[in-house]
Amino acid sequence: MDQQMSLNVRIRLSAMMFLQYMMLPVWWFPLATYLENVGLDAWKPLVMSTMALGCLSSPLIGMFADRHFASQYVLAALNLISGILLLVAAQAAAGTAVFVALLLAMLAYMPTWGLTSAISMTHAPAEKFPQIRVFGSIGWVAAGIFSIVAFYLLGEKKIDGTKIVFYCGAAVSFVGAAFAFMIPHTPPPAKGQKASIVDVLGLRSFSLFKYPDFALYVAASILVTVGFSIYWSYFSLYLTDKGVSLLTFTQNLGQAVEILLMLIVPIAIVKIGLKWAMVVGLLAQLVRYGALLIGEAAGAEMAPAYVAILVHGLIFGFFFVGGQIYVDRRAPKEMRAQAQGFMFLATFGVGLLIGNFLWDWVIKVYTIDGIRQWQPIWLWTTIVSALVLVFFAVFFRDKTSPVDTTEVATAEIEEPPVL
């Protein structure tokens, strides 16, 4: 009976991940191309930073889930709000309206990554998390199917670069909102505890900086995401320059490989340790940009692009998912949702925001007569990736263990209670 219940919970958590990670890529990956198509190219760096800005709410939402409301209800509300705002974005024509609608949508959506991670690791051991999170990768790949289905059902050769992608994202968001009520009940672990201004702002997780290894991990993660961001936000421009039409489907090939690699993450952690598993992810990022650099220097066509896409699973699975496991080990249970939210703020918030503006500037510097010169662009991303790899491998020391999650619970930041 217990095994059946365990299987039932695992299925529901896996379905949650599938839907949650399906609802973003269907509209996010072709967004830069969409902005060019509708004459909003000047708004590109700002609109492409809505994901990063959306992470600002992650610690705050994590605090509410930790202290006040069951996590599945918080998730349902966030998905519903996100879906409505994507419908608004589809109808918006002015750059200001598109930016505001997508910013509000991402303020609702981005906290769900940390929230779903905390929910999963509440009901399953952290070391088993990649086996549940892999269904997020499956959902990510499934998002690319929208463009193929549209060819048959809508008579469209492609939906990438059109507002149809917003409708697709909204539809999945509404399904995700409804399904949230089927997720295992996850009550707030710190309910009833006094909250302060620090808690209201979602800043309790800053107490984790008492650990030097955590501080160094945060710094490295931000730098990694700066390098990662050009692929995340602007790779559709590179594919467009190469003549690719099905942008989401092509880029999602990386998530298809990620499905297999995600299952290897727990094995790698056991065999080589959490730190070196994350180093493998950093090495894969160096391979990504090194392949693109060599490919451009050699005048190659799509082969380097496929290398860059196919190593995505190594980067995301080993470094970013490995990092989620590290954070779960380091944070006490009453702070895990908040800590996961903080890390998404640091990576897909601060790191992505810096990267979006940095690489937009670099791309413009190396755009001559309207033609993007990708070789020097990939040279800079390769240099950044190499430096971060060396920095992390040399200086990071994993001081956690699967049971080392209690010390921070005693760390207090004195503020007057407000809730």
Q: How many CB atoms lie within 10 A of CB 152?
A: 8
Residues 6 or more apart whose CB falls under 8 angstroms from that of 237 comprise: 32, 33, 363, 372
Query: Residue 27: CB partners within 8 Å, gap ≥ 6?
Result: 86, 165, 166, 168, 169
**How large is the average pLDDT for residues 182-200?**
71
Examine the pLDDT at 418 and tell me if it is beyond 70.
Answer: no
Closest CA to 165 of 102, 86, 237: 86
- Residue 83: per-residue pLDDT: 95
Strand partners, 196: 417
pLDDT at position 257 is 78
Q: Residue range 138-142: average pLDDT?
A: 83
Residues 323-329 have a mean pLDDT of: 85
Identify the CATH homologous superfamily for domain 2-185+193-410. MFS general substrate transporter like domains (1.20.1250.20)
Q: Pick the range with the lowest mean pLDDT from 92-96, 154-158, 265-269.
A: 154-158
Helix H or strand E encompassing 414: none
Transcribe 339-385 into DSSP letters: HHHHHHHIIIIIIHHHHHHHHHHHHHHTEETTEE-HHHHHHHHHHHH
> Lowest-pLDDT range, 25-34, 273-282, 313-322, 365-374?
25-34
Per-residue pLDDT band at 126 (split at 50, 70, 90): low
The pLDDT value given to residue 199: 59
Which pLDDT band holds residue 3 (cuts at 50, 70, 90)?
very low
Overall pTM > 0.85: no
Spatial separation of the C-alpha atoms in residues 122 and 408, rounded to whole Å = 18
How many CB atoms sit inside 10 A of residue 196's CB? 17
Q: What is the pLDDT of residue 337?
A: 67
User: Can you give the pLDDT at residue 101?
Assistant: 95
> What is the structure's pLDDT at 407?
35
The token pair at 383 is 């240099």
What does the mean pLDDT of the chain come to? Answer: 82
Mean pLDDT of 348-364: 89
In terms of residues, how long is the chain?
419
Provide the 3-class DSSP secondary structure of residue 185.
Answer: coil
pLDDT band at 111 (very low <50, low <70, confident <90, very high): confident
Q: Are 223 and 278 in contact (CB under 8 A)?
A: no
| For residues 25-54, average pLDDT | 83
- Of 142 and 14, the structure prediction assigns the larger pLDDT to 14
pLDDT in tens, 198-221: 655 556 777 888 889 999 999 999
The answer, yes or no, to whether residue 344 has pLDDT greater than 50, is yes
Per-residue pLDDT at 394: 94
- In the numeric block, the tokens 């920095």 are attached to 391
Query: In this predicted model, what pLDDT tens digit does every residue of 358-402 receive, in sequence order?
Result: 998 999 999 998 899 999 999 999 999 999 999 999 999 887 765
Helix 265-272 × helix 129-143 angle, to 10°:
140
Name the nearest CA neighbour of 367 among 183, 199, 251, 237.
237
Token pair 């727990």 in the structure block, residue: 266
